[in-house]
Amino acid sequence: MAVRYVQSCRLPTPFGVFDMHGFEETDTGKEHLALTLGALDSDAPMLARTHSECLTGDALYSMRCDCGYQLEEALRSIAREGRGILMYLRQEGRGIGLLNKIRAYRLQDEGADTVEANEQLGFAADLRDYSMCRDMLGHLGIRSLRLMTNNPRKVQALEELGITIAERVPLHAGRNPHNESYLATKQSKLGHWLETHQDDDPDASL
């Protein structure tokens, strides 16, 4: 999936002042963002997060997932580090889209887990594509990542694209009674590394 660079600007946030870079898929016109902080031309591996859009979690404070919590913790971690990148990818609901995500949530309300709900709708458990990251990182001159993720498939997908993952950095945030089943399914069916920490605070990012 090829993307072209469009434009950059400054983006003040509660965590720090980032540079925001816009990219567009050449075939579909779908838009993606990268937020960067600090020097991009260093050879040192860069703290990084690839974050797939989750409107319900990122913007509407949903506690059904941990997405919004992870987004905020990633930005907070980059700000503490003083250097990093967050790639915000427009692929809602693991790639099934917002309205199908609502349909999947309804099936979960009726007893399906997150993987079963996708499959009942005729989708694979995870349709996300990370190939746009290669062009985004190439444009910005970033060669090596310290990737914040709990998802082994994401690490593998990026490495298969030729992106160097120097380190996998755990990212735990937002565990709460509403997403216990969701997290358990990610661990048991999708292989996520979900080490628990006593200092996890589901309200820390709200």
List, by residue number, the catalytic residues.
Answer: 126, 128
Task: For residue 149, say whether it is annotated as part of any ligand binding site.
Answer: yes
Task: For residue 95, say whether it is annotated as part of any ligand binding site.
Answer: no
Task: For residue 188, say whether it is annotated as part of any ligand binding site.
Answer: no
Task: For residue 13, say whether it is annotated as part of any ligand binding site.
Answer: no
Task: For residue 101, say whether it is annotated as part of any ligand binding site.
Answer: no
For residues 83-105, one letter each, b for 16 or more C-beta atoms within 10 angstroms of the residue's C-beta and e for the rest, the string is ebbbbbbebbbbbbeeebbebbb
Contacts of 28 (CB under 8 A, 6+ apart): none
Task: For residue 94, say whether it is annotated as part of any ligand binding site.
Answer: yes
Helix runs in the chain, H state only = 55-58, 67-81, 98-109, 114-120, 132-140, 152-160, 180-190
Task: For residue 110, say whether it is annotated as part of any ligand binding site.
Answer: no
Which residue ranges are tagged as binding site? 49-54, 65, 67, 70, 92-94, 114, 149, 154
Residue numbers belonging to the annotated binding site for GTP: 49-53, 70, 92-94, 114, 149, 154
